Structure 1
């Protein structure tokens, strides 16, 4: 894809689970500001293989690990492992360059995951009624979808790279699950049955169509990602995006024994919501297309 330069040009780069940069810089860039870990990888890093938290996972500036769907004990283990690894890296390399490693481990509130699952559930219901077809998989949000849902609460402009949304419709159709093959788990890991990647892909496309984010598909050669980044101020009033506002939640909480650092993200909600809003289901409207605005609104993206 050769999009590394465009990815690194963003203010904040968020990666998911064990996704590496070393050796893939031309395609995926070299910067990492945040890394979202699911329950499995929180357990792997904290309990079994803390040595996997290497310099490739941390930048020399402030870095955050955001763990999700785990218990307090697992969270503390990965926090301790990360702190030890940062100390080791600073002793061996940080002092030499004068830019010490710094990392914060944060815990994603479970209600954020619950609201993401509710969004998928509502969207599934509306799309099944509108398109008269069933979508495989469950309603549990994938790690990638949770990362996007988190970013929607925190960032004004979002560009998504590496989300392959093409569906396999033939018996011999195969799609790669990761861009890497020689890292732990990458050779045998498969899409989990509790997730519905096709449905999540439709939601991402809907958010792209309503200019909530920029979805860069894998086959595009986007030399200037900023050309796809939408500014809220530039959206015409005719788009009536008030229907697509996502609720803004206080998503993160910290264990008391983990040092807290300020968030290094734009904390302004996308649509400047003043109070937390509950997801609502507008009256169902007859859809005009596969991803009509009516279906998107009825799915709960409001």
Structure 2
């Protein structure tokens, strides 16, 4: 009887492995695991007569589903299979079998994401490669050509870009918002000029090989600058007393855990009335009772609009306004810039300097009214909320109280500073052994982490610079400083490399139009708490 059970056990294990690799090559090839595969595996489990034989099979099923979902999220990284249990067999497969698997992924690894109705996806594939792995670019007869991978354009422009299109914004700018007002938390860089001319890489016909090569060259320039920013980081001050070492350094998280999961695991959130110590403090009673967004189920598309100078001339206003949720930052105006940045604003993320300093007029400026506000201040690393409420970087609490008393029906929230530093930890874990600046993430990256749990996908506008890069800090000011784009205080280089790693859009969308597309990850992938939160 034992021999019979042993044979049954071994044969079923082998059958599951066969189905497993069948799913990898065929099920994932079509973008979905076939339902019949699950039914067949379920039948194997149900046919086992004793529980001792069900347990290992259930474990294998779990890892099988996890791994296939992992591959679907990061299709270019087939090597991720080798990290999990029960997958060492892949290393021993014949080379021909490996090549078949790799070929299947390279040809069919795209993820379909529904775009706003006004901008359906283009039907032709574009050049795109993983931006973090710059070695994917190769030279052919002196021309840089990106490796082929099927990813879709985020939109197709149907209107004439020269046609006048203006939707007047109801927002009124804050005091001095369009002038050279102080820019929060930006240390001036010595290098205020760009080291290359982005206009040389502009192109309009994405189907031409010349345009694709120009885009690939520009992409290489941008990523090189980001990576160099990480390498050149030396003797940076540690004002916030940050002491953190990634749990898995560069050996695990960077290679095997999806970047979007690192972002989600940080759990950037708003403070609520019930959160101690605010449940016993006067300011806690001023926190809105409502959630950040009213109708979560109605949210289909979201846009995050940076304040980058490269938005000038973008003509993306209509595209931005077509989204259900539109996030903007600090005092970035829309009046007079509707053609480029749109007129719709759902939520604004403000740092504590904007809330505190008189020149931004937070308590009375109309730009901060009739809109959801999410304000943040980092505080010291690992400080308690009680201490943070007394020793914040900038005393945002005084003006927050005035604002809430003046507008009791307003939706003004404060972001949990602990979650801001968890986000920084996620960044450091993504980069691995190379240290990043020990300063809090930028408002843009905090906004991305705050919004991602609510949105099936997010279009991030001009976060990674396009060929419209002009060296200006903001589209509404004339100040020239490359540090605004590549970082001199925030860990911007690490942020943007991580955003590129999560990106689903093709290179033309990212580097010619200035649009990243980031999808909310499957819950099955995330929540493993590798970071120890």
User: TM-score band (shorter)?
Assistant: 0.5 to 0.7
Task: Look up the match of 1:287.
Answer: none
Aligned to 2:347: 34
The answer on 1:111 being equivalent to 2:418 is: yes
Residue 64 of structure 1, aligned match among 368, 372, 384: 372
Q: Cα gap change, 1:118/1:112 in structure 2, threshold over 3 Å: closer, same or farther?
A: same
> Partners of 1:139 and 1:67 in 2: how far apart?
17
Greater helix percent: which structure?
Answer: 2
Shift of residue 278 of structure 1? 2.8
Q: Which residue of structure 2 aligns with residue 141 of structure 1?
A: 441
Matches within 5 A, 1:72-221: 72=389, 74-81=396-403, 84=406, 103-125=410-432, 128=434, 137-138=437-438, 140-165=440-465, 175-181=471-477, 191=484, 193-209=488-504, 217=510, 219-220=512-513
Partner deviation per Cα, 1:28-49 (whole Å, 9 max, x = no partner): 11111110011211212xx564
Match of 2:334 in 1: 21
- Per-residue displacement from partner, 1:118-137 (whole Å, max 9, x unpaired)? 011112225x4xxxxxx874
| Aligned residue in 1 for 2:356 | 43
Stretches of structure 2 that go unaligned for 5 or more consecutive residues are 1-313, 379-387, 390-394
* CA displacement, residues 64-91 of structure 1 (integer Å, 9 cap, x when unaligned): 111101665523413523663x69xxxx
Which of 1 and 2 has greater Rg? Answer: 2
Corresponding residue pairs, total: 202
Change (3 A) 1:174 1:138: farther
Aligned residue number for residue 7 of structure 1: 320
Match for residue 264 of structure 1? none
Whole-Å Cα distance in 2 between the matches of residues 31 and 82 of structure 1? 23
Contact 1:208 1:215 in 2 (8 A): no
CA gap of 1:215–1:17, structure 2 versus 1, over 3 A, is: farther
Check whether the contact 1:7–1:29 (CA below 8 A) recurs between aligned residues. yes
Alpha-carbon distance between aligned partners in 1 of 2:363 and 2:480, rounded to the nearest angstrom: 17
Task: State whether residues 117 and 140 of structure 1, in contact with CA within 8 Å, keep that contact through their aligned partners in structure 2.
Answer: yes
Q: Please say if residues 158 and 229 of structure 1, whose CA atoms lie closer than 8 Å, have aligned partners that are also in contact.
A: yes
Mapped partners of 1:29, 1:21: distance in 2: 7
Corresponding residue of 2:176:
none
Q: CA deviation at 1:215?
A: 11
In the TM superposition, residue 218 of structure 1 has moved relative to its aligned partner by 6.0
- Structure 2 distance, partners of 1:51, 1:280, is 36
Residue correspondence of structure 1 range 253-268 to structure 2 within 5 A: none
Q: Is the 8 A contact 1:32 1:57 kept in 2?
A: no
**Alpha-carbon shift at residue 54 of structure 1 (Å):** 3.1
- TM-score for the superposition, normalised by structure 2: 0.33
User: What's 1:55 paired with?
Assistant: 366
What TM-score, normalized to structure 1?
A: 0.55
- Listed one character per residue, the Cα deviations across residues 246-291 of structure 1 (whole Å, up to 9, x for unaligned) are x5xxxxxxxxxxxxxxxxxxxxxxxxxxxxx63439xxxxxxxxxx
Separation (CA, whole Å) in 2 of partners of 1:111 and 1:67: 14
| 1:205 aligned counterpart, secondary structure | helix
